[in-house]
A and B are shown apart, each in its own frame.
Chain A
Amino acid sequence: MAPKNKNPNGENVVPEVQQKKTQALILKSSDGEEFSISKSAAGLSVAIKNMMEDDCAGGVIPLPLVDGGTLARVITYLNKHAEDGASDEDKRKFDEEFLSGMEVDVLCDVALAGNYLDIRGLFHDVCQRIVNGMKNKSVEWVRKTFRIESDFTAEEEEQIKKEYAWAWEGVDSDAD
């Protein structure tokens, strides 16, 4: 059997795995920014991986639903997780820090991107982060943070509050 690392002309080629690692790919955000990323890192996104396999990759993959700022964050995440030598513990620590500084708005954008690009770990972490912020917070805090107007009438709200009356004790003040 012919060795796999020879092409039909008998020339040596870089094995595919290695090729993936070293080769770079360009991701293009909705606002036209271009980011270079290794194929191995990009492959952690199931969506990008599929695009690479379908070879719509002329080397540049347009991501019309992700803006530059968000894409930069996502790429940081992907690079860390594709890093050789990064232990699970390192990655966990990184994830923690990576998300901890983000505002709710930013978290939502990253969640959208994580979902669109199908990066499971990131998506789940971000969702968790978003709700962690909501724990022990009042309804008003949640409305303000997510910019939601209540469409309940005062009576309806009273009624619902009554239903679950016991669940509202011990909620933190809105100070933080």
Chain B
Amino acid sequence: MNACLPDDILEMCLVRLPLASLMNARLVCKKWRNLTTTSRFMQIRREGLFQSSWLFLFGVVKDGYCSGEIHALDVSLNQWHKIDSHTLKGRFLFSVASIQDDVYVVGGCSSLTNFGRVDRSSFKTHKGVLVFSPLTKSWRKVAAMKYARSSPILGTSEVNPDCFVFRNQQNRSDRRFYRPRVGGVSDVYEDPHRLSVRRQSRHSLDETDVSLFPSIKPCKFVRQKTEIHPAKMRLPLDFGVACSGVVCHGMFYVYSESDKLVGYDIERGYWVTIQTTPSPPRVHEYYPKLISCKGRLFMLSVSWCEGDGQIGRRNKAVRKLWELDLMYLNWKEMSTHPDAPMDWNAAFVADEELIFGVEMFKIFGQVLDFVTMFNVSDVRTGWNHISRNHATHDLDASSCMTKSMAVLRL
């Protein structure tokens, strides 16, 4: 028979390979390699929805050092991969965001006196933005932010090139140093600065730019030629410290530690306070995480288990997923996470209709990790554990605090 399918049919088969197997296929022979490395091939693969989710775990600490190691979970094959990256060595408290095939690593700190360690006695804060392309395992630098940031809150959005932010070539950003978990005052910076990252979308037809919006915060906005009313551009003074942000429907939503929600209208370029029904009650130590999924806005928040406060028993904390009805602005409970919330810095990211979460914590002298997945289109199935304790055996406990996660379709 045919050891050789015709090229077009062979191509139709190979586009369906998950990434790791595709890499393998490229080693088979020159013909296969040529077939599978064209941009057309990668486009068919992307558009045919043959890609699958990969989770990238950044910012781990090993033997006291920020190793720069990236742990990647291929969700479809349930395999962990470890990617060494010298570029990130010594850096901590950076934020990551995914745009198409790349992960953007924004800001962060490095120790000045103890290079490589998570040492906040004397450190440098970065303003640089690095881009990691897992497909080629390569790094590149893109335009830096105007000011250095650690743990900036990021949102990414596709915006039209002639929308407000581009016309004015400015953007705001927020600074938030690491501080004790309780208390803390919002740093308010006036920070008009140029858009940090701008890149042409690969889908040249829709003429959009994909942008990364580094976080925000009460910021006075330097107006250039705009007619926007200044009052609309400020965040309310009692907004507090931003703890989570996400872009949904052209709006950059930011949630604060004092349970306020604001939105930055990316097209029109101003902030609005969003008056929702009272936010879900939550345990103070756990900051909520906003998630944008399929044009819907969700929040993960830890609360005390109601009705379980029997005498002599300690009330249980549970992590719940809420959805904000964007029309009526009320929070609705969607689902309860099956795991006890052990990690107050649990990371959650969304990919299409899937929400992925990773919790890491140290118990019995070992750092454990739990990766869970939730499909917002299929609420009844609830949360699934997709991986347990694979990535983190040899990591330091401080990884729990410094980790961050991004998801890509590869």
Which of B11-19, B113-121, B308-316 makes up part of the contact surface?
Answer: B11-19
Residues in A57-100 with C-beta less than 8 Å from chain B: none
Contact with B along A112-143 (1 / 0, CB 8 A): 10010000000100011011001111110011
Residue A161 at the chain B interface, CB threshold 8 Å: yes
Docked Cα-Cα span, A136 to B74, in Å, equals: 12
Docked Cα-Cα span, A118 to B17, in Å, equals: 22
Main secondary structure of the interface of B (DSSP, over half): mixed
User: Do the beta carbons of B24 and A108 come within 8 Å of each other?
Assistant: no
Q: How far is the CB of B16 from chain A (nearest CB, A)?
A: 5
Residue B30 at the chain A interface, CB threshold 8 Å: yes
Residues in B113-144 with C-beta less than 8 Å from chain A: 136-137
Contact with A along B24-50 (1 / 0, CB 8 A): 111111101100000000000000000
Give the residue of B21, B29, B136 whose beta carbon is less than 8 angstroms from that of A134.
B21
**Which residues of the other chain, A, contact B360 by a CB distance below 8 angstroms?**
none
Which of B1-9, B151-159, B173-181, B266-274 makes up part of the contact surface?
Answer: B1-9
Contact with A along B74-103 (1 / 0, CB 8 A): 000101111100000000000000000000
**Which residues of the other chain, B, contact A143 by a CB distance below 8 angstroms?**
28-29
B interface, how many residues as a size bin?
20 to 34
**Which residues of the other chain, B, contact A169 by a CB distance below 8 angstroms?**
79-82
Give the residue of A123, A127, A168 whose beta carbon is less than 8 angstroms from that of B24.
A168
**Which residues of the other chain, A, contact B1 by a CB distance below 8 angstroms?**
105-106, 108-109
Q: How far is the CB of A47 from chain B (nearest CB, A)?
A: 15
Residue contacts A-B, CB under 8 angstroms, 19 given: A106-B1, A109-B2, A112-B6, A112-B9, A115-B12, A135-B17, A135-B77, A138-B24, A139-B27, A139-B28, A142-B24, A142-B28, A148-B28, A150-B29, A165-B137, A166-B82, A168-B20, A168-B23, A170-B81
Residues of A within 8 A of B (CB): 105-106, 108-109, 111-112, 115, 123, 127-128, 130-131, 134-139, 142-143, 146-152, 157, 160-161, 163-171
